[in-house]
Structures are given as C-alpha cells and as structure tokens.
A and B are shown apart, each in its own frame.
Chain A
Amino acid sequence: MSIWEYANPKKFMQTSAWVLPWVTGLAFVTLVLGLTWGFFFTGDDYRQGSTVKIIFIHVPAALMAINAWLMMLVCSLIWLIRRHHVSALAAKAAAPVGVTMTLIALFTGAIWGQPMWGTWWAWDPRLTSFLILFLFYLGYIALWEAIEDPDTAADLTSVLCLVGSVFALLSRYAVNFWNQGLHQGASLSLAPGERMAMTFKLPLYVAMTGFVLLFVALVLIRTRTEIRARRLRALEARGRMG
C-alpha cells in the first residue's frame, strides 16, 4: 500500500456536486413531512400525554449521534488502511454533525423526562451514555484542531476514534451496571417499534429518514469545505516555495 495513494478528490467533488442538491432537497422534504406529521396529526399517548411527540426528534437524533460515530469509525479505518484522504476528511466533517445530534438527543431526552422524573437531569443510563459520547466527540474534535500537519492529524484522530469506540461501548455497559446500583431509574423504552401504534411508527420512520438525509447532506457540504481547505493549504505552500 503506497503511502501516497489517494481517493481522487476531484472525482469526489464532481460527483458530490450533482448529488448534493438532490440530497438536501430530499432531506428538507422528508424532515418537514416527518416532523409535521408527527407533531400535528398524531394523538396523545394515554400515559405521557403530548410529550410523546418529542419522540420524533429525540429518537432520530439519538440514532444519528451513534451512527455518525460509527461512520467516523469506518472512515478512520479506511484512512489507516487505504490512506484515502477523502475518507479522513469525511470523518473530520462528520464530527460536528455528530456532536450536534448528541446535544439534541441530550436536551430533548432531558426535557422529555422532566415531567416524569421531576428533575431536569436524571442519570438515566441511556441519557448518561449520550453524555459520555458527547465527551468523546469533544476529544476527537479538539485533537483535530490541535495538530497542524493534516496527515499526522488524520492518523492520530483515527487511532483515537478506534480506541474511543471500544471505550464508548464499555462505558455504555458500565453505565447500565452503575445506574442499577444507585436507584431504579425509570427506563423509558425509546426503542422504536416497541408496542407502538402504527400511527406513531410511520411518522417516526419518516423523521428518521429525514435525519439521515440531513446528516448526509451536511457531511457532504462539510467534506467539500475540508477538501477546499486542503487545496488552499497546498496552493499556499506552493506559493511560499515558488
């Protein structure tokens, strides 16, 4: 594997140029459709009243937060093994989107649980593991910013992503164990499709698709920006040497 093999950024820029409008358009449509459907046209849950409507934001954001990290993990592996620069830049581009999704999941989860738990923040195992995921995201982004040489930064952040994933999984399990010890937190079953009426499931799936498309659109835009930044850096370096 020659170290300077590269996925062709030019080809990526061309293909992403014509894909982007479609993805953003579709993302907008599905998001609006899913959220309005869920917000306006579904009844209330007999037990939680209208707070169940938060599910249409909380669950997709939570899933996206985890999937974003998994996408970064895959991109890091591709960078470490195949040295595709575009995948390293895609991982860097996905991090801010992932951290925002984690924040959304945290806020909406806390707000949703407030009426039931009586406090704005309960150390519920699920919410806490998103808090931990948030810390991992912070470390990842901070490491990218701390290193000038892009290739060294890509190497280090990829290694951090691999190790971080193992420990995030461990934390997820440890938090379950830890919370049983403290108090029997009301485990709000957020898993979609569980004894939920069809009227809730459909808009939820639409909202989820909307979030996935939003994620893809944002990552595409941000990756293109990262590639342009890399190109700018190369041109400036050439200018300095000329």
Chain B
Amino acid sequence: MIALLLRDLRLATRAGGGFGLSLAFFLIVTVLVPFGVGPEGGTLARIAPGILWVGALLASLLSLDRIFALDHEDGSLDILVTAPIPLEGAVLVKAAAHWLVTGLPLTLAAPVLAVLLHLPGPGFFWMTVSLALGTPALSVIGTFGAALTVGLKRGGLLLSLLVLPLYIPTLIFGADCARRGAEGLTAGTPLLMLAGITLGALAILPFAAAAAIRANLR
C-alpha cells in the first residue's frame, strides 16, 4: 500500500505531474478577488476566511479527475482491483496522495495568501487549523466522486456537479471556524463539527468509492 502512495507522489512530482497546479490556481483565485471586490481593507478582511476556503475547495476540486483516470487508461486500475491489496485501502491511499499533493500545500499557503486579504491577526492560526482539518475531507469526498466518474467520457464536469454539494457541510463549518477565529470569538464548535465530518468521511467513503470502482470496471 505504501508503494502505491510513494508511486503516486513520485508521479505527481515528476514533470507534468501537476504538483503545483492546485497551488497556482489557489494563488490566482485569491489574487483575483480584490480586483473583483475592491481593495478596501475592511470588506476584504471580513470575507477573507470565506474566500480562502472557497479557493482551497475549488483548487482541490481541480485535480480530482486525475486520481483514477490515468490509472484507468493505462490498465493499472484493472490490475490494482485484482491485486492482493484491499481496494478500499488503495482508495484511501489515493485520497492521501491527493491530499499530500493538493490539500497540504493549500493549508500551508493559505496564511501567506491571507496577508493579501488583510486577514485579522488571530485568523491566521484558525485558518490554518480549519484547513488542516477540512482538506482531508475534501480529498476523500473528491476521491469518491472520481471513483463514480472513472471511465466516463466527459467525467470532469459531472465530477464537480456530484462533489460540490457533498462539500457544503465541510465548507460551512470550515469557513465558519476560520471566521470566528478571525473575529476573536470561540471557534470550538465549528472546529469539532468539521473534524467530525472529516473523520466520518474518512471512515465511510473509501467503501463507497471501492464499490463504485468495481461497478465501473464491470
């Protein structure tokens, strides 16, 4: 299983692996917002947590259809399914690889970009914490969506339509936690809910994704 993780990380960091893709997208989205909303610090500060969260969410959505599509095209997926490793475990590893390639860099980049949006002081800590807890859920939910649409011709668009509604709870609690942190309020409850959703997703979705892959390969 670790071999699968290492291989995926190696593939992502190799040329054309798309490692910096999501990060660059996140940067662009965050830079674009002030042009749309106006440079006035007050408004920016108020919407900064929301913008960063929506940006992170869209950035992780971007690289979802690559998770299984490449393996499906070159036949590796067929062999992985018939290999002695549990498919549910392989799916979890794929989600972890996606998180390491997109979720983690986003979490680390968010505070840096928050400066552009005048995020108030305490917000930096809570922003990072909420992203650190929320992005794994984005990855595993996204992996489930990718499993549903593996092998479909125009799967990319369908993938976002399927996955975005599933992202809503994580987005609400994540952004709320960051916003309360930024305003100095107690951000405990949304943080707990966010962590709960992530753990729940990590527990259930690999099984659903594995079932979807088996159905798709049939």
Contacts and interface: CB of A to CB of B under 8 A. Distances in A.
Q: Do A and B interact directly, with beta carbons closer than 8 Å?
A: yes
B215 interface: yes
Interface string B206-218: 0010011001101
B172 A174 contact: yes
Chain B binding surface, main DSSP class: helix
Contacts of B155: 146
B205 interface: yes
A163 B165 contact: no
Nearest to A151: B218
A181 interface: yes
A152 B215 contact: yes
Interface in A127-152: 132, 135-136, 138-139, 142-143, 146-147, 149, 151-152
B216 A178 contact: no
Contacts of B204: 163, 166
A70 interface: no
A175 B172 contact: yes
A238 B212 CA distance: 28
Nearest to B175: A178
Interface in B16-75: none
A174 B168 contact: yes
* B: interface residue count bin: 20 to 34
B162 interface: yes
A159 B173 contact: no
Given A139-B162, A162-B208, A170 B152 contact: no
B165 A164 contact: yes
Contacts of A166: 200, 204
Interface string A61-95: 00000000000000000000000000000000000
A166 B137 CA distance: 14
Given A174-B193, A178-B172, A136 B165 contact: yes
A142 B162 contact: yes
A174 B196 CA distance: 12
Given A143-B162, A146-B158, A177-B190, A159 B215 contact: yes
Interface of B: 144, 148-149, 152, 154-155, 158, 161-162, 164-166, 168-169, 172-173, 176, 179-180, 189-190, 193, 197, 200, 204-205, 208, 211-212, 215-216, 218
